[in-house]
Amino acid sequence: MLNFVLILSVFLLLSPTQTFVIRPLPKPPSSTSTVLNQAPPSSNTFDLQWCSQDECTETLREAVVNDEIFFQSPATGQVILTHTEPPSTPLSLLILLKKTSNPTKTLLLSLPSLIPHFKISVEQRVYDALTAHDSSFSEHLTVFTPYNSPPPSQIITIGGDGLLLYVSQIFQKSCPPILPIAGGTLGFLTPHSKENMLNVILSSSGHTPNDSTTPIKLTLRMRLYCRIYSSSNVIIHSQNVLNECSIHRSTDYLTSLLLTVDSESLAPVQADGIILSTPTGSTAYSMAAGGSVVHPGVAGICVQPICPHVLSFRGMVFPDYCRVVVEAGGGRGGGTEVNFDGRGRRVLEVGDRVEVCMSKYPIPTVCEKGDTQDWVQGLSSCFGFNRRKVQGENEDDEE
How far is it, in rounded angstroms, from Cα 132 to Cα 137? Answer: 9
Q: Is the Cα torsion angle 267, 273, 257, 168 positive or negative in sign? A: negative
Backbone angles phi, psi at 132, to 5 degrees: -70, -30
Residues 6 or more apart whose CB falls under 8 angstroms from that of 38 comprise none
How far is it, in rounded angstroms, from Cα 230 to Cα 236? Answer: 7
How buried is residue 29: exposed, middle or buried, by Cβ count under 10 Å (0-12/13-18/19+)?
A: exposed
Concerning whether 128 is annotated as a catalytic residue, the answer is no
Backbone angles phi, psi at 246, to 5 degrees: -110, 120
Q: Residue 61, by phi and psi: left (phi above 0), alpha (psi -120 to 50) or beta? A: alpha
Catalytic residue among 54, 67, 128, 161, which?
Answer: 161
Q: Residue 344, by phi and psi: left (phi above 0), alpha (psi -120 to 50) or beta? A: left
How far is it, in rounded angstroms, from Cα 45 to Cα 135? Answer: 74
CB atoms within 10 A of CB 277: 31
How far is it, in rounded angstroms, from Cα 114 to Cα 108? Answer: 11
How far is it, in rounded angstroms, from Cα 63 to Cα 358? Answer: 25
Amino acid at 55: E
Query: What residues are labeled active site?
Result: 161
